[in-house]
Amino acid sequence: MTARSTAERVSLAAVALPGGGSEVRGFGRRPCRVDDGWLRVESSGMCGTDISLHTAGLDRPTVLGHHVHGRIAELGDEAARRWGVGPGDWVVVEEYLPCGSCEQCAAGRYRLCPRTDLWSGGRRVGLIPVDEEPALWGGNAQYMYLPPEAVIHPLPGPLADGLAAWALPLANALDWVLGAGALRPGETVVVLGPGYHGLAAVTAALYGGAGSVVAVGLVQDRSRLEFAALLGAGVAPVADPAGAPEDASAALHDHVARVTRGRMADLVLDLTGAGDVSGAVGLLAQCGRLVLAGGRGAPEARLDTGRLTRMSARVIGVRGRAPDRVTQSIGILRAGGAGLSRVPTEYVPLAGVGEMLDRLAAGKGPATPHVVVRPWDPDRREEAR
């Protein structure tokens, strides 16, 4: 093998280290086998899971990144048949690496496969340490390994990096709003937490025909609430975390009561992971639904079961998305993104990954929650227009 071809088989990656910090390393890429392949990564979106893993959750050095989009660089024949793609094709890769043979996988619910369960150390894109060959298991790299169990969705053509990075968050939101939340046209939706998934949930609710959507955030979320307003949401009074929690809850209740003329919200999505959901329950209308996507490590919550009974209300926990929601999300993005292109994108090179994760963990990140690693861009940060 020539020096040039050897160099072409090396991929740079941002490696998250135990105890925090990140460094760029180079890893060799072995030729693909008949049942696997390599992805040239074009974008890798950051989310709250990446932040928690970066700051406290890693035992061994790991290439993070699990909202991944790119082009097939190399593919074995069996893998090409299984995934229905070929070299050069644009794809979105889900984070799950399911077994394919358990009861959940057989029913198409591979997000619930015990092998890929986030809470029990399951195998996922962006979670497998670099000491497991071939090391490049996450999207914060120029190339990412595609094992036989990878879940891949073809794109009908290229999408702008910033828009493509919304594919999985929007798919989650569609599943939570239209699936678990059972949104009906004309209903009122309240979204608690205007972060990455919160803005996607606003988009999904408006796409699903919500009569009104109210986005709720804290004082430090003002810019994100402005993005929610750009998408078409109303914005609730900003709660002050220094004040009494009951005062903030009462102010929010009064605001939703005014918006709905006393009827309250048909659907509330709590994406904060704060644990105390009593305020969210108090926002529900008769037969309302509360959808919880608290995330990893969310604290235990107390529920007023008597109120839930009187209101015939439901509380639904969610994670991930059904496969058809990814297809639906890709279709929406191909058609223009239902307004998501209005949300600025902060692009980060590999060398800036650790610094950005530190900033996000400290609450000092950029105004936009849409932060995207672009592995082939050495030092470019810009905003979508």
Is 252's pLDDT higher than 50? yes
Is 248's pLDDT higher than 60? yes
pLDDT of the residue at 245: 60
Short-list 17, 23, 4, CA closest to 141: 23
Residue type for 219, please? Answer: V
Q: How confident is the prediction for the chain on average, in pLDDT?
A: 89
Domains 3-165+345-373 and 168-317 share a fold: no
- pLDDT band for 304, please (50, 70, 90 cuts): confident
Mean per-residue pLDDT, 257-282: 88
pLDDT of the residue at 2: 42
- pLDDT band for 221, please (50, 70, 90 cuts): confident
Pairing state between β 22-28 and 37-45 = unpaired
Helix (H, G, I), strand (E, B) or coil at 154: strand
Which stretch of DSSP H or E encloses residue 246? Answer: helix 245-259
* DSSP codes of every residue in 69-115: EEEEEEE-HHHHHHHT--TT-EEEE-SB---SSSHHHHTT-GGG-GG
Mean per-residue pLDDT, 183-191: 97
End-to-end alpha carbon distance in the chain: 44
pLDDT of the residue at 211: 95
pLDDT of the residue at 302: 77
Structural tokens at position 33? 């086998």
Which stretch of DSSP H or E encloses residue 321? Answer: none
Indicate yes or no: pTM above 0.85.
yes
pLDDT of the residue at 324: 95
Instruction: Catalogue the E-assigned strands of 122-220.
Output: 143-146, 152-154, 188-192, 212-216
pLDDT of the residue at 104: 94
pLDDT of the residue at 242: 57
Cα–Cα separations (whole angstroms), residue 168 to 155, 324, 381: 13, 11, 22
Q: pLDDT (tens digit, 9 = 90+) per residue, 323-350?
A: 999 999 999 999 988 999 999 999 999 9
Which residues, including other chains, have CB under 8 Å from residue 76's CB and lie 6 or more apart? Answer: 32, 33, 34, 35, 36, 37
Mean per-residue pLDDT, 83-96: 97
Please check whether residue 321 is in contact with residue 171, taking contact to mean a CB–CB distance below 8 angstroms: yes
pLDDT of the residue at 90: 97
Long-range contacts of 271-276 (CB under 8 A, 24+ apart): 271/191, 271/192, 271/193, 271/195, 271/197, 271/198, 271/201, 272/192, 272/193, 273/48, 273/193, 273/297, 273/298, 274/298, 274/299, 275/299, 275/300, 275/301, 276/245, 276/301, 276/302
Domain 3-165+345-373 - what CATH class?
Answer: alpha beta
Q: In whole angstroms, what is the distance from residue 125 CA to residue 87 CA? A: 20
Pairing state between β 346-348 and 371-373 = parallel
% pLDDT > 90, the chain:
69
* Assigned CATH topology for domain 168-317: Rossmann fold (3.40.50)
Ordered by start, the domain boundaries in the chain are 3-165+345-373, 168-317
Q: pLDDT (tens digit, 9 = 90+) per residue, 276-293?
A: 788 889 999 999 999 998
- pLDDT band for 235, please (50, 70, 90 cuts): confident
